[in-house]
Amino acid sequence: MWITGAGQADWFFVLAYTDKSAGYKGMSAFIVESSWDGVSLGKKETNMGQRASDTPAVIFEDVHVPVENLIGGVEGAGWFNAMKAFDLSRPNVAAQAVGCSRAAYEYASNMPMSAKPSARNCMNIKQFNSCWPI
């Protein structure tokens, strides 16, 4: 599992099955503190677009979560709460994707055309990365 910003977080929003037989309706949402026994961070992943974002693996080993950390106090509502959060965050992610694709298109449109196309011309990574609004 990876959590954006996990390296700086004091706590995590975690979905876990409390009734696996119920499928997604058996998922509950919890607050898990990063300092608890059994919570550790793994390798930091390299992000393609949001490179300033710290996204390490989060490892849970025999972590015991108290019942008062159940979000909303109702088991089985975790998936629905997560989807509500996505309703708010997805437009922002889409706007970033549109901005990145526009920048890539403009960069590619302004590249000099040569008689012999070359992968080196199209994939100058340093120049390409510098045009991404991050």
Phi/psi at 43 (5° precision): -65, 135
- pLDDT, mean of residues 7-36: 95
Average pLDDT of 26-33? 96
pLDDT per residue as tens digits for the range 75-125: 999 999 899 988 988 999 899 889 989 998 988 887 766 555 555 555 555
The residue that leads in pLDDT, 115 or 24, is: 24
CA distances 64 to 1, 32, 60, 86, 124, Å, are 17, 9, 10, 27, 49
Beta strand 39-44 pairing with 56-60: antiparallel
At residue 129, does pLDDT exceed 60? no
CA 16/CA 64 separation, integer angstroms: 12
Domains of the chain: 6-130 (2.40.110.10)
The pLDDT of residue 119 is 57
Q: How far is CA 28 from the centre of its chain?
A: 19
Quote the CA–CA distance of 32 and 99 in Å, as a whole number. 34
Residue 120 pLDDT: 58
User: So what's the pLDDT on residue 12?
Assistant: 93
Q: Looking at per-residue confidence, does 23 or 47 come out higher?
A: 23
Residue 41 three-state SS? strand
* pTM, entire model: 0.64
Encode pLDDT of 43-61 as tens digits. Answer: 888 777 666 778 889 999 9
Q: What are phi and psi of 33, to 5 degrees?
A: -80, 140
Token readout for 115 is 């008689």
